[in-house]
A and B are shown apart, each in its own frame.
Chain A
Amino acid sequence: MTPESVPYIVAALAAGGIFAPVFISSAPVGFLRIILAAVALALSIASIFCATGTFAFGMIAVLLILRGLFANKGTDLPKLPCIVSTLFAVAAALTGEWPVLNLIAAVLLLATLSGAWPMHWLAARVIDRSPIAMAEQISTCIVAMFAYLRFVAPTEFAFDAASTLVRLGAVLALLPAITALVQVNLRGFYRCIVAMHGGMLIAAVGAAGHGHSAAALLVTVTLALAMGGLGAMVAAVEDRCGRVLLKEQGGRIWGMPRLAAAFLLFAASGVGMPGTAGFIADDLLLHALWEESVVGSLTMIVAAALLAVATLATFAKIFLGPPATSLAGDLRRPERFVVIATFGLLVLIGVAPWLLANPLAEYLRGFGAVPH
């Protein structure tokens, strides 16, 4: 892979994140949804290939406006999160001349999109209405992070703010990881696991300021693919069984074994299962964090351990147990192929991370990124 191929790879990953939820939801794959996804992809590609930060973040703002205007029809998406994230994107687009404001706006944009604390109340509004809409929102993170890495991370202020952001990110990852242990419904768990990854994203944003761009992008790709995939599985479970409480064991694996396997694979990838992008992203991030803050790195390790325990406990509550009497079916054929493709991407990046990371580092050097 050459450095010139990086934007194409990022575009392909963004396309996967955008189109996957369309085929997972039980709602019919209507004309409007296909058109919306195509427009989202076109805007994402435009942002990826833009030569200035103003246009890159501007395209993201247009994408978020469109999602706010039209997505409401299909998924009953609340408008406020779209408005807030659009405002941050616009701010990031217009403040290129002022590095401090630019960094703050870009970080807030990423925090809002990824559902990191304390912006998670906005993500909570989305997840509480429709987990699939959150999966769609997360897919935008790849494009936003790519814009951040090219136009914000190489600045001097991003370099100075790196240590602070790393420490902040570690704390923001730990808090939702702790609360994930006591969630009483599936959406609550999904909210926590996404917020934990949001914290990791903030820490990765900080590390990118000191040249750890590959760690930042790998964390984002894991967030988009694994958490997007998990969100789609949460939606798939709820489409079949209604709201899922975690009071007692559901025994759904008997009726939907493939869905259970897909849920476990995406969740495990999110918590760093070997052989997937999550493992490499965690490893890379921990080493990057260690250089900035030993305590931050240790905090992240503890957060990852707690989240893994919460994940297995949630999986056990939803799927394991005596057979449940249910007529709900397993994953449909299009859904299965989406799962195979999305998880395949996670495995590909997990076993061959150099395909993405090495050309990325080379590519970003052209934008003045600090070589690590």
Chain B
Amino acid sequence: MTHIDLDAIQRIALPVIILLPIAASAFVGLLIMASSRYPSERTATRILEVALTISLVLSAFIAICATGVFGAAPSTLVDYGALLELGTYRIPAVLLTDWKGIVFSLLCAFLTLLVARFSRTYMHREAGYFRFFILLGGFATGAQLVALAGALDIFFAGWELIGIGSALFIGFFHERAEPVRSSLRAFATYRICDAGFLMAMVCAHEVLGSTTINALDGSIDLPLWESTTIGLLFLLSVMGKSAQLPFSGWLPRAMEGPTPTSALFYGGISLHAGLFLMLRISPIINASPVVQVAGAVVGISTAIYAAAVARTNPDAKGALAHATLCQVGLILAEISLGFTTLALVHISGHALLRVWQYLRAPNAIHDAHRIGVHAVPAEELQTQSVLERRVYAAALHRLRLDDRIDSILDPFMVLARALDKFDRRVRVLFGGGKERDP
């Protein structure tokens, strides 16, 4: 097979890898919307599983091609032109198949298919079965966009799809109030932190002249304050998505979602997507010592916090979430200190391990009885020093992170109410506000 052939095949395969899962979801959604009856569970699942399988096979094929087995490896930059081009403004339609992208794409495709297969029986006859699989398709596309994006605009599209999917999955069992509250908190954290991504993207476009990932290599030539500003804005976004301090409060709440999605999002892909962004923007990180130090400090402090909380957490999934967070913090520190290859290996191994652990979490109680794991006896706690007890209490209450953030937001909500009150008065003054029943 010639070099040109592989390029052509890759050019066709990549959009299929990315778009097929969401197309399958859209098809199932369209079936439900257009007809008066729902399709069978088997039909909906098969459609999605076929799409995810094709996505995985093609992803594996791209990885094999990249090793050079079929001759010269295809080009790592696949340019489809521009999604939009108006004067100096351009949304590039570029995909990147370097090793970072290929490994993450393969990981996402494999884990998504695995979880879809697991969920077929786990979610059987559950209310919201179709919703689950439709959202899963959207998430798969989001993850592939993140993995293969060659431009920040495309990366952000995938990033947002992952965020929306994550929030909707957390609130999946919405007949209880708590999952809905948790979903809102996670989504609010994502959106506020994603403002950092948007600002960084617009800044990068203005100072580098392009939003392609490769253009970030030019950040070494930027003035220090520019690279530092862009890097810190990206870091803010990563802190939200990867639940780093002080935005870690939403992660234990996210365990309200179905176990398979906890595995996929918080064990496998979503938490690691933030780290993958850090890998992608590593030229900016390398250009600014301030960003390097900030990333390392955030990562290490999150790792220490999560390790302490994991040891005191009373529920299996919560403890697992913090154990995951501890490793995610360490990986963030690794990337910040420049160990990007180590971080990629760490991400892959860690994601696979955690997905397995999450999927086995429902068996944890059974295992605990079988192996004979017991809680720390009360007498043992009483013999601890004052410092140990304080650390224990702080970890048990997770540093009251949510309360602290709420107290910061309270004045803002007061402002919102005052503004609304003023607005209502203005409307009533001009004759509006007299709402009629339909």
Which residues on A are within 8 Å of B, measured CB to CB? 76, 80, 118, 120-122, 124-125, 128-130, 175, 178-179, 181-183, 185, 187, 211-212, 214, 235, 238-239, 242-243, 249, 251, 253-254, 257-258, 261-262, 268, 272-275, 279-280, 283-284, 286-288, 290-291, 297-298, 301-302, 305-306, 308-309, 312-313, 316, 320-323, 333, 336-337, 339-340, 353-354, 357-358, 361, 371-372
CA–CA, A118 and B434, complex, Å: 18
Contacts A302-B195, A316-B171 hold; do A235 and B438 have CB atoms under 8 A apart? Answer: yes
Q: Are A211 and B87 in contact (CB under 8 A)?
A: yes
A-B contact pairs, 6 of them (CB 8 A): A179-B416, A239-B438, A274-B157, A274-B161, A308-B191, A316-B180
Verify A124–B415 contact, CB threshold 8 A: no
Chain B residues whose C-beta falls within 8 Å of the C-beta of A249 in the assembled complex: 174, 177, 180
Chain A's closest residue to B198 (CB) is: A301
Shortest distance from the beta carbon of A266 to any chain B beta carbon, whole Å: 13
Is B84 in the interface zone, CB < 8 Å from A?
yes
A142 to B200, CA, bound (A): 31
Chain A CB within 8 A of B112 CB = no
Q: Known contacts A242-B438, A340-B33, A354-B84: does B416 contact A178 (CB below 8 Å)?
A: yes
Write the chain A residue with the least CB distance to B83: A353
Contacts of A125 in B (CB 8 A): 430-432
CA distance A10 to B167 in the complex (A): 35
Q: How many A-B residue pairs have CB under 8 A?
A: 166
Tell me if B184 and A316 are in contact (CB < 8 A). yes
Stretch at the interface among B4-12, B272-280, B312-320, B419-427: B419-427
- Do the beta carbons of B86 and A361 come within 8 Å of each other? yes
**How near does chain A come to B170, taking the closest CB pair, in angstroms?**
11
B256 within 8 A of A: no
Contact status B85-A354, CB under 8 Å: yes
| CB-based contact B437/A357 at 8 Å | no
Indicate if the CB atoms of B29 and A261 lie closer than 8 Å.
Answer: yes
Q: How far is the CA of A122 from the CA of B419 in the complex (A)?
A: 18
Closest to B153 in A: A283
- Chain A residues, Cβ within 8 Å of B156: 274
Question: For B160, what are the chain A residues with a Cβ–Cβ distance below 8 Å?
Answer: 272-274, 279
**CB pair B83 A322 closer than 8 Å:** no
Among A238, A279, A305, A336, contact of B157 (Cβ-Cβ < 8 Å)? A279
Interchain CB contact under 8 A, B202 and A290: yes
Give chain B interface residues in 86-112, CB to chain A under 8 Å. Answer: 86-89, 91
B68 at the interface (CB under 8 A from A): no
**Is A301 a contact partner of B164 (Cβ separation < 8 A)?**
no
CB distance from A200 to the nearest CB of B (A): 14
CA distance A339 to B30 in the complex (A): 11
Please determine whether B416 and A214 come into contact, CB atoms closer than 8 angstroms: no
What 1/0 mask marks residues of chain B from 121 to 161 whose CB sits below 8 Å from any chain A CB? 00000010001000000000010010000000100111011
CB-based contact B180/A320 at 8 Å: yes
Partner of A121, one of B83, B416, B430: B430
B84–A284 touching, CB < 8 Å: yes
Contact A322 B426 (CB under 8 A): no
A359 → chain B closest CB, angstroms: 11
List chain A residues, Cβ under 8 A from B206. Answer: 290-291
Q: A284-B84, A321-B180 are in contact. Are A298 and B191 (CB under 8 A)?
A: no
Do residues A354 and B83 form an inter-chain contact, with CB atoms below 8 A? Answer: yes
Contacts A274-B158, A301-B195 aside, 5 further interface pairs with beta carbons under 8 A come to A272-B160, A286-B202, A321-B174, A323-B175, A354-B82
What separation, in Å, do the CA atoms of A211 and B202 have in the docked complex?
18
Question: Which chain A positions have C-beta within 8 A of B403?
Answer: none
**A187 neighbours in B (Cβ, 8 Å):** 435
Where chain A touches its partner, the secondary structure class is helix
CA distance A302 to B191 in the complex (A): 9
**Residues from chain A with Cβ under 8 Å of B153 in the complex:** 283
A124-B432 in contact (CB<8A):
yes
Q: Are B91 and A280 in contact (CB under 8 A)?
A: yes
A179 touches B438 (CB 8 A): no
CA distance A24 to B388 in the complex (A): 64
**Which 8 A/B pairs are nearest by Cβ-Cβ distance?**
A274-B157, A124-B432, A320-B174, A372-B87, A121-B430, A238-B438, A179-B420, A305-B191
Asked if B420 and A353 make an inter-chain contact with CB atoms under 8 angstroms apart, the answer reads no
| B433:A181 contact, CB within 8 angstroms | no
Question: Complex Cα distance A48/B206, Å?
Answer: 35
A178 to B420, CA, bound (A): 8
Residues of chain A within 8 A (CB-CB) of B435 are 128, 185, 187, 243
Chain B residue contacts of A308, Cβ below 8 A = 187, 191
Q: Which B-chain residue is minimally distant from A322 (CB atoms)?
A: B175
| Contacts A251-B175, A258-B32, A316-B184; A243 near B164 (Cβ below 8 A) | no
**Any A CB within 8 A of the CB of B199:** yes
Mask: chain B, 154-192; 1 = CB below 8 Å from A; 0 = not: 001110110010010001001101001001100110011
Q: Is the CB of A313 within 8 A of B184?
A: yes
**CB-based contact B195/A309 at 8 Å:** no
Q: Which of B24-39 contact A (CB under 8 A)?
A: 29-30, 32-34, 36
Asked if B437 contacts A358 (CB within 8 A), the reply is no
Name which of B164, B194, B437 has the most chain A CB atoms within 10 A of its CB: B164
A289 to B206, CA, bound (A): 12
For B413, give its contact among A181, A272, A323, A337 (CB under 8 Å). Answer: A181
Closest CB-CB distance, A256 to chain B, in whole Å? 12
* Contact status B423-A179, CB under 8 Å: yes
Docked pose: A211 CA to B89 CA in angstroms:
11
- Interface status of B436 (Cβ within 8 A of chain A): yes
Complex Cα gap A287–B204 (Å): 11
Closest residue of chain A to B412, judged by CB? A178
Q: Smallest Cβ distance from B118 to chain A, in angstroms?
A: 24
A372 & B86 in contact (Cβ 8 Å cutoff): yes
Q: Contact check, A121 vs B157: say whether CB atoms are below 8 A apart.
A: no
B438 (CB) vs chain A CBs: closest residue: A238
Which residues of the partner chain B approach A272 to less than 8 Å between Cβ atoms?
160
CB distance from A353 to the nearest CB of B (A): 5
Query: Is the beta-carbon distance between B33 and A243 smaller than 8 angstroms?
Result: no
